[in-house]
A and B are shown apart, each in its own frame.
Chain A
Amino acid sequence: MGKYILKRILLMIPVIIGVSFIIFFAMNMAQGDYLDTQDLGELTAEQIAALRESMDLDKPLLEQYARYMWRLFHGDLGKSYSGNRDVFQAFMEKLPSTMYLGLVASLIGTVVSIPLGIFAARKRGTLLDNMASVVAVFGLSVPNFWFGLMIMILFSLKLHWLPSSGNDTWICVLMPALTVGTAKMADLTRTTRSTMLDTLTQDYLRTARAKGVPEKTVVNKHALKPAMIPILNVTMSQLSNAVAGAALTETVFAWPGVGKLVVEAVQQRDIPMACGCLILKCTLIGVIELITDLLFVLVDPRLRTHYAAAAKKKTSFFKAIKGDFQGAATAIVTLPDRIKRAVENHRKDRALVKKEREEWRAAKQKAKERAASGQEKRILVSKQYAKRSLAGDIWYRFRQNKGAMIGLFILLLLALNCIFADVLYDYDTQVIGYVMKERLQRPSAAHWFGTDDIGRDLFARVMYGARYSLAIGFATVALSLVVGMPIGAVCGFFGGKVDLLIMRVLDIFRSIPGLLMGIVVISALGQSTRSLIIAMAVSRFVVVANTTRTAVMTVKNNEYVEAARAIGMPTRSIIFRHVVPNCLSPIIVRTTLQVAGAIVAASSLSFLGLGVPVPSPEWGALLSAGRRFVQSHSYMTVFPGLAIMITVLAFNMVGDGLRDALDPKLKK
């Protein structure tokens, strides 16, 4: 374990190099440098040249980077371009308030979410479970800058309970912490609920109950501990996120944190400040991650073997690759036979299903006739026992879940709206056409959702905007799943050096806050919907990889995995046929949250002017544009917010339904 800790500390060095490399070159890809943010009209050409030289901006990029790294390895983070400030000092000035905000946000999130998640799992399907869904949906579906403004108006302006901004007194932290903590509260509540649901159906808990152990002890002592790994993961990630910086919350509440410092540095192309702050953040996040992994071991000692560098390797990654190649060669050679066998089996299955269906229909008909003739009580053969294929079975269980069906119905309506949007709404006159005389009109019969600041019908814009928002959400998640799941599965299954190395690479991406990564990527690629999707996927695939890794780590030591190894099943098959399907529950939960998160994240980038290009009516852009009017014409933010929220809820309902339908344990 000691060696592992030392290795992790040493591996922070390449992570630091990786972060500085990405930020340095990505910022240089963006149009303009620091001097382009300044008004140089009064300077002579010689003065401008001298300034460029003093900032190394006249040198080739690689040389600039090499000089920067040389200074870095001598412990010098340099001085910012703007204001000539010492980078380390500037960061340390802001860090205490950021840590304070992060700790309070984590505390709020944890104290509320974990008990709520446990109760929701225990009272599945009841009012309490639904209340937890309310918290989840609400926290996820409203962008934090809008939520922050709303609670500021409520608690500060209307009720006079709390100061509106700043950090003069200890109570100033409450609103920003609530803003930061609310979105993650949703994540944590749902993750706790999901993992508790998985654990509560385990056989050993049934044994405990049968032995007369009180339910409270069953839950808190036996069920909670195994569920703690994913819960700890999300809790600690809250702290990491806070350190990474809640830039928008800090802007709304004028909170002097590192998040805003870094975002401003990126926007000003102040490379020393941006790189330096990110390196320091990355180091701090690395320490938090290390503490998280140590806590994992405390909670689940089985994971000790996962981390031990010299552990008895159950599986060697490279041997597994070799085995996979051999397996693949065999599979290719035997492919025709296997196809023939599969087709034959499929035909037999179909014939069997058809026969059993006919028998069932005949039995049903017979029962009807008997009932009609009054000879016997009508006996209906329940559909439940009809023979179905696997897909049919899943669909059947999904259909039993009314909430999931409602969610699916909503999504279908949205899909139809998107497909027929051009027919339903005239793009030129209703969606982007303006009538200044009708600007800022409140909802009425003529304009159901009112009009915006240049007289455009808000209803048409919200409905048409579904196209953009859903496309962005789906595309982002699809991209992050395709990239993140295989990475996470490999890391979680093999552990050891493979996990260590790949996770350090992911640490590089994780160390860069999502918003910041978005700013950097969009600045580099130019503002467009495509670059927006890529920007959001780049920060999200790490979450998917991490979730998959954690889930696989929990499952891979189960007996059926051992059994599969024992019978000589290829590693690839073990991972993707036995391990991943049993890890789908948290992945599905996270994925549905990710779609929602992507839609909301687009609005955060719109807040900074980096969302979809004008005049696209994307929901996040509508929300961001409406924030100026939050005091006077709040309907401009209500309807886009409602649209996001309904979509998020629908995704969550479908996600819950899929989770239950896919879980083999819940067949009973």
Chain B
Amino acid sequence: MKKLLPLFLAMFMIIALAACGENKPDDTTAEQRTAADLTNFYSQPAETASPTATFKKEITVAHWQAIDSIDPCLKNGNAAECVYKMIHGQLVNYDWISGIQTPDLALSWEIENAASYVFHLRQGVKFHNGEEMKADDVVYSFVERPAAVQGTTGTAVWNEIEKVEVIDDYTVRFILKDNDADFMNRIYLGYYPVLNRKACEADAEKGYYIGTGGWKIEEFKPNDRVVFTRFDDSWVWKENGMTPTEKVTMRFIEESTTYAIALQNKEIAAASQIASVDLAAIEASGAHTVTYEAESLYYMIFNMANGKFANSEDLRKAVAYAINYEELIDYATEGLGSRAYSMWGKSQYGLFEDFDEKYEFNLDKAKEYLTKAGYPNGIEVKLLIKDKNVAPLLQAQLKAAGFEVIVDVKDTAGANAAVKEKDFDLYYNGITLQPIGGRFAFIPDIKHSTNRAFYDNPDMVAQFTAAQNETDDAKRKEIYKEIQIEINNEIPYLALFYPAASIAYCDGVSGVLWEPDSKPDYSGIRWAE
């Protein structure tokens, strides 16, 4: 008995600890939460507190990804852009609801033609070092600095700029190498800020910390945190009213359970990228959650260069009918995502979904196409995937149709290397979308490094180029419609679903903006005490 005592005591400890963690979610709420409940509002109004409310001077928020650099020439991606939104301004902003650009550092602009854009800058805008923003800073930010600092990202706009002309201290003209009808929908991105030439030339290490935003960097600890203090001279506060918050700390916490707990504990005011399994627990603690359609897409890539799917449209269609999309969405998004039929995003310019043949789950049809492809007894295929959690589900679903799936789970580097070596048959992947029509111009371009299907369609490349040059809205959309129909017919890429994203904030917190491309904007955050 004595020897069994440690066993029982240790079992008790494990169960007791685990039981402490058990949060019985409100099953009713979970069942009621569906895709129909997703909000299409992207901000939480600032004025929710009573006029006499007092606000906390210091707020901490969680950021789901660690950042080791905040140099816009070196680091892009959603994670870094959340920092840029705090300290920098861009020429224009983008309104996801109306789908048009809004003024930011540029008060107005003129599109002379698809290769020439004139911006009239806001006057009296101060950088954090007290210098006034002028046209010369725009030239430095868009031409000189990107050429000097060799980064891996953010080059779409910089690469297409022929030159930036200074017309006067507050007017610039961008001249592009080629026509680009999407140009205005690109430059709103956070990694195209206007930097101060003087600051960057004086301090190569930290000059890019200096921006025009409402917050300035007090401290940046790579992979740990960024601390912002309010920049009272910013045009942002003069335009929108001063926030009562004086300091914001953005802590990088990568484990979703950890920041969910921190939120429930009120150690942080807000967090984004909340795991759907934590939503109920967060709401039970009194915090608020918002779930919205994310401007991302999950899709399947077929290896069109070599291997089994390369010359067999029937085999690709067999996969398209074998996937149980409803189950996949239920699993991957807890039922909050929605089916995607086109490779275009929901907010993307030129979306078309009214195809003659829409791929829905149909096991009989899948088997029929498999037989037609010459594999009545099934076929072995290799699925390349980064998300280990989804792998067993996809494997089981495809197995039911006759596909013997070997799952090859790899990290990002391994997956990209495997793609380069064409060592896969199927590749499950996700992508963040932008509102630009030409987002998927890489799909038919065999020379493009992002064309992971190795799909070669020169005619489609020409169509994309034509669309970039087309200024007539209706004609441009017609071109994108034809492209999407062809992609749907040949399915080198199979659209699966649009995921949902969630953001959470404590009671009393307001002024948080969330956008479908998953970059929360905390620049206006405040927390009523």
Contacts and interface: CB of A to CB of B under 8 A. Distances in A.
B327 A436 contact: yes
A83 B15 contact: no
Contact of A632 (B281, B409, B413): B281
Nearest to B9: A134
Contacts of A634: 18-19, 21-22
Contact of A264 (B15, B66, B388): B66
Interface stretch (A2-10, A150-158, A385-393, A506-514): A150-158
B150 A51 contact: yes
B69 interface: yes
Interface centre among B152, B224, B254, B450 (most CB of A within 10 A): B152
Contact of B251 (A126, A254, A439): A254
Contacts of A36: 412-414, 416-417, 420
A147 B410 CA distance: 27
B448 A41 contact: yes
A127 B393 CA distance: 48
B9 A630 contact: no
B253 interface: yes
A31 B396 contact: no
Interface in B333-356: none
A145 B187 CA distance: 41
Contact of B6 (A80, A137, A637): A137
Interface stretch (B36-44, B154-162, B360-368, B503-511): B154-162
A166 to B, nearest CB: 6
B48 interface: no
A56 interface: no
Contacts of B150: 47, 50-51, 54
B2 A130 contact: yes
Interface string B390-422: 011101100000000001111111111110100
B265 A402 contact: no
Nearest to B224: A256
Nearest to B385: A614
A384 interface: no
Interface in B1-30: 2-7, 9-11, 13-15, 17-23, 25
Contacts of A157: 261, 264-265
Contacts of A50: 150
Given A609-B388, A632-B280, A142 B14 contact: yes
A93 to B, nearest CB: 7
Contacts of B21: 149-150, 153-154, 630-631, 634
Interface string A617-644: 0000000010111111111011001100
B409 A436 contact: no
B75 interface: yes
Nearest to B155: A42
Nearest to B280: A632
Given A153-B261, A256-B224, A628-B277, A609 B6 contact: no
Nearest to A142: B14
B448 A33 contact: no
Contacts of A150: 17-18, 20-21
A630 B258 CA distance: 11
A649 B7 contact: yes
Interface string A455-491: 0000000000000000000000000000000000000
Nearest to A48: B449
B262 interface: yes
A13 to B, nearest CB: 30
Contacts of A645: 10-11, 14
B10 A153 contact: no
A38 interface: yes
A84 B153 CA distance: 13
A152 B261 contact: yes
A40 interface: yes
A662 B278 CA distance: 52
A287 to B, nearest CB: 25
A167 to B, nearest CB: 8
Interface residues of A, number: 98
A374 interface: no
Interface in A39-89: 39-44, 47-48, 50-51, 54, 80, 82-85
Interface residues of B, number: 85
Contacts of B396: 432-434, 454, 615
Contact of A164 (B155, B258, B327): B258
Interface string B38-75: 00000000000000000000000000001011010011
Contacts of B331: 436, 439, 453-454
A268 B277 contact: no
A154 B21 CA distance: 7
* Consensus secondary structure, chain A interface: helix
Contact of A138 (B13, B223, B393): B13
Contacts of B256: 628
B261 A156 contact: yes
Interface in A512-568: 523, 527
A530 B509 CA distance: 51
B275 interface: yes
A268 B14 contact: no
Given A156-B261, A260-B223, A628-B275, A40 B417 contact: no
Nearest to B260: A631
Contacts of B223: 256, 260-261, 264
B313 interface: no
B392 A85 contact: no
B221 A256 contact: yes
A646 interface: yes
B5 A31 contact: no
A580 interface: no
B129 interface: no
A226 interface: no
B392 A454 contact: yes
B258 A254 contact: yes
B392 A615 contact: yes
B413 A615 contact: no
Given A42-B159, A637-B18, A630 B10 contact: no
B95 to A, nearest CB: 24
Interface string B97-124: 0000000000000000000000000000
A621 B5 CA distance: 28
Contact of A631 (B23, B330, B414): B23
B152 A51 contact: yes
Contacts of A149: 21, 257-258
A253 interface: yes
A164 B10 contact: no
B357 interface: no
A31 to B, nearest CB: 4
Contacts of A615: 391-392, 395-396, 407
A32 interface: yes
A478 B93 CA distance: 62
Contacts of B407: 613-615
B6 A130 contact: yes
B498 interface: no
A629 B277 CA distance: 7
Contacts of B152: 35, 38-40, 43, 51
Contacts of B450: 39-41
B18 A83 contact: no
17 contacts: A36-B412, A36-B414, A39-B450, A41-B449, A83-B68, A134-B5, A157-B265, A164-B262, A251-B254, A254-B254, A256-B223, A436-B331, A454-B392, A523-B411, A614-B391, A615-B395, A635-B18
Considering the complex of A and B, which 7 residue pairs feature the smallest CB-CB distances, nearest first?
A: A83-B69, A403-B3, A32-B413, A32-B417, A41-B450, A36-B416, A83-B68
